[in-house]
Amino acid sequence: MVPVTDVELAEYFASRGRRVDDALDRYLPPESVSPSIIHRAMRYAVSAGGKHLRPILLLAGTEVCGGAPDPALPAACAVELIHTYSLIHDDLPAMDDSPTRRGRPTCHVVFGDAIAVLAGDALHALAFSLLLRSSDGVSPARTLAVCQEIAQAIGTAGMVGGQVLDVLAERRPSLLSDAILDPPTELVREIHLRKTAALIRAALRAGALLAGADEILLAALGGYGERVGLAYQIVDDILDVEGDALTLGKQVGRDAAAGKITYPAAYGIDRSRAIAAQLTADAIDIVDALGPRARILKDLARSLLERDR
Amino acid sequence: MVPVTDVELAEYFASRGRRVDDALDRYLPPESVSPSIIHRAMRYAVSAGGKHLRPILLLAGTEVCGGAPDPALPAACAVELIHTYSLIHDDLPAMDDSPTRRGRPTCHVVFGDAIAVLAGDALHALAFSLLLRSSDGVSPARTLAVCQEIAQAIGTAGMVGGQVLDVLAERRPSLLSDAILDPPTELVREIHLRKTAALIRAALRAGALLAGADEILLAALGGYGERVGLAYQIVDDILDVEGDALTLGKQVGRDAAAGKITYPAAYGIDRSRAIAAQLTADAIDIVDALGPRARILKDLARSLLERDR
């Protein structure tokens, strides 16, 4: 195991990102396997040059808790596949109807809507296949706990529920009456917590579980993940208003044009920035209690706040 | 445990079907939970009056191997949720564009395309949550094996792969060249094996695994499931040509109208019927070796061949 406290953040990100890339290439079925088109579509969406934030946070969670990164690679790749499946489905004409993502045409634009729906479904199933792999030194009971952590985070109480609220807020706000999510500041927080923060929190807790972390560590990493996840989405919202399309690799201003509910829309830019900064400070405080080994998580939180893409 | 060999088939189907219905009602989030619309959509699709074939086969697989049905209910419901998610996505305008299913408007017609995509995704995730539940007397290692059995059956090597081949055969046959699936008789067999038989086979093997079956039993139930699953889909194809719309609860003739590749299209009705009968006979032969305890599986196979809906 690399002593992460001695590694610069950029190096850490690059080296763990490479391991994730290599592992994804091993785990995804080759394009030569029939039916080729679905494997091409899956690989196209996965290799779209994402930051691999979620798998790297999972690996960091494991390493901070004393685990080695390699046994956590299947789980790390699984959360990337889940994130990718959700992006493919979110981008569909039936949902956000996004023509580009990370500077390239979206999956359904290249492969058609039917194959895009199925590529998302296939990545979802493959993610669970990877999560279920027993890793060296990880008991079956612990592997089940890791799978359950992720499964809970991506259902209607988590990621899918957030996407539902997002769709309703944009198109059918009358159906939100059941949700007691007024004012909009409460609603946007709930959407981001479920849609973005739930999986990031689960990734950190999954990493900790794989390393055999106790309840105190699990709670710390979960609390950190929730705050970093929420801050991450707020920064995303801000970049959609103020960011540079070329740097971001996607159109800006799409949220406002679509009438999406965002932090800048609900709070204004300055307060949104202050909230993201406070969440980041809180996240850093939580893991500060873990001592020097948590440095990588603190550096990560800061860099996610200050990013321009 | 009910001694299944003494129970009439119709009674068995009804009693196990009720247990599955009750369990599904417990496992699905209540409609009152926010966001309500997604839970309504999930329940609408699940309660559409399906036969619960897959969960009942899973329970039968467990019982034939000496297990009790109740500890297998979460897994049985999980395969029903997976089947339902696949139907919701198959029915979407981007896929088969089906307006009705089991005599009622399809999920996307009632709730909109976006919510239908998400209801499918949510059922997929919930299915894994259920599969991951540890049941009394089932070790974590065995629970993992059950989950893996299902996960493998629903990815691109199984259910999703079959759906991809189906979509390609209908719309873009030139893309099938990589699949070496000529003549059409080979192609339609491959589609049905993946799209339908893979999950039915996995349900039977999952039931057997939950009961602690050995490799010989597992192989027998898997072989039975594959043949019964293929025969089931061939009978479905035949009913789409010869069946009664009112009895079936769906339009007939849709396969031919859509230019779908089916057994009747590839072989004609008479040979299709003969193939289904032979597969059923083979399935019965395989489990005959297990002695009297396998009677329920033999009766089930016969009744599926002779059904008119």
C-alpha separations of A54 from A27, A89, A228, B13, B139 in Å: 17, 18, 11, 45, 30
pLDDT at B177: 60
Taking CB atoms and an 8 Å cutoff, what residues of chain A touch B180?
34
**CA angle, residues B117, B123, B124, in degrees to nearest 5:** 90
Q: What pLDDT is stored for residue B6 in this prediction?
A: 47
Nearest to A114 among B95, B120, B132 (CB): B95
Indicate if the pLDDT at residue A2 is higher than 80.
Answer: no
Q: Which one is predicted more confidently, B83 or A34?
A: B83
Span A163-208, pLDDT tens digits: 999 999 888 777 776 555 566 888 999 999 999 999 999 999 999 9
Chain B residues with CB under 8 Å of A160 CB are: 38, 118, 121-122, 125
Does the structure show a pLDDT above 70 at A117?
yes
Min Cα separation B217/chain A (Å): 23
Whole-angstrom Cα distance, residue B301 to residue A213? 49
Beta partners for residue A100, in sequence order: A105
Q: Which residue of A has its CA nearest to B165?
A: A35
CA distance A52 to chain B (A): 22
Give the three-state DSSP class for A20: helix
Residues of B in contact with A181 (CB under 8 A): 34
Query: Within 10 A of B277 (CB to CB), how many other CB atoms are there?
Result: 16
Q: What is the pLDDT of residue B182?
A: 61
**Per-residue confidence (pLDDT) for residue A6, from 0 to 100:** 47
Nearest by CB to B118, which of A34, A132, A160?
A160
Which is higher by pLDDT, A258 or A295?
A: A295
Q: Which residues of A touch B34 (CB under 8 A)?
A: 178-181
pLDDT over 90 for what percent of chain A? 79
B250-274 mean pLDDT: 87
Residues 110-139 of B with CB under 8 A from A: 113-118, 120-122, 124-126, 128-129, 132, 134, 139
Query: Using the 8-state DSSP alphabet, how is residue A197 labeled?
Result: I
**Chain CA centroid to CA B151, Å:** 14
Is pLDDT at B144 greater than 70 in this prediction? yes
Does B179 score more than 60 pLDDT?
no
Give per-residue pLDDT as tens, B58-87. 999 999 999 999 999 999 999 999 999 999
pLDDT of residue A184: 80
Report the pLDDT value the prediction gives residue B52, as an integer from 0 to 100. 95
Q: Rounded distance, CA A163 to CA B63, Å?
A: 40
Residue B164: alpha-carbon gap to chain centroid? 17
Listed range (A4-8, A243-247, B101-105) with the worst mean pLDDT: A4-8
Residue in chain A closest to B37 (alpha carbons) equals: A175
Whether B29 has its CB under 8 Å from any CB of chain A: the answer is yes
Mean pLDDT of chain B: 92
Cβ–Cβ gap B152/A175 under 8 Å: no
Do A164 and B115 lie within an 8 Å CB cutoff?
yes
Tell which wins on pLDDT, B270 or A103: B270
User: How confident is the model over B218-235, as a mean pLDDT?
Assistant: 98
| B49 confidence band (pLDDT: 50, 70, 90) | confident
Collect all residues of chain B within an 8 Å Cβ-Cβ radius of residue A156: 29, 33, 35, 38-39, 42, 122, 126
Q: 0.80 exceeded by the pTM?
A: yes
Mutate one of A27, A28, A38, A84 to test the B interface: name it (highest B CB count within 10 A). Answer: A38
Interface of B with A in 46-85 (CB under 8 A): 85
Range of the domain at A71: 4-306
Q: Is the pLDDT of residue A14 over 50?
A: yes
Taking the C-alpha atoms of residue B37 and residue B122, their distance in angstroms, rounded to an integer, is: 12
- Contact check, Cβ <8 Å, B180/A148: no
Q: Which of A79-88, A143-152, A274-283, B253-262 has the lowest mean pLDDT?
A: B253-262
Tell me the shortest Cα–Cα distance from A131 to chain B, in angstroms. 9
Which residue among A121, A129, A141 sits closest to B89, beta carbon to beta carbon?
Answer: A121
Specify the higher pLDDT residue, A221 or B183. Answer: A221
Which CATH number goes with the domain that contains B136?
Answer: 1.10.600.10
- Check pLDDT > 70 for residue B301: yes
Q: Which range (A110-124, A253-267, B55-69) has the least confidence? A: A253-267
- Which range (A1-15, A212-226, B127-141) has the least confidence? A1-15
Instruction: Tell me what pLDDT residue A179 has.
Output: 52
Q: What is the mean pLDDT of residues A263-290?
A: 96
Q: What is the mean pLDDT of residues B199-207?
A: 98
Decide if B155 and A33 are in contact by the 8 Å CB cutoff.
no
Q: What is the pLDDT of residue B248?
A: 75
Predicted local distance difference test score (pLDDT) of residue B260? 82
Q: Residue B175's CB: how many other CB atoms inside 10 A?
A: 17
Number of domains in chain B: 1
Residues in chain B within 8 Å Cβ distance of A89: 117-118, 121
Task: Determine the residue among A156, A172, A174, A260 to mutate to test chain B binding: the one whose Cβ has the most chain B Cβ atoms within 10 Å.
Answer: A156
- Contacts A116 to B, Cβ<8 Å: 94
A91, closest residue in chain B (CA to CA): B114
Is residue B181 predicted with pLDDT exceeding 90?
A: no
Helix (H) or strand (E) holding A19: helix A9-27
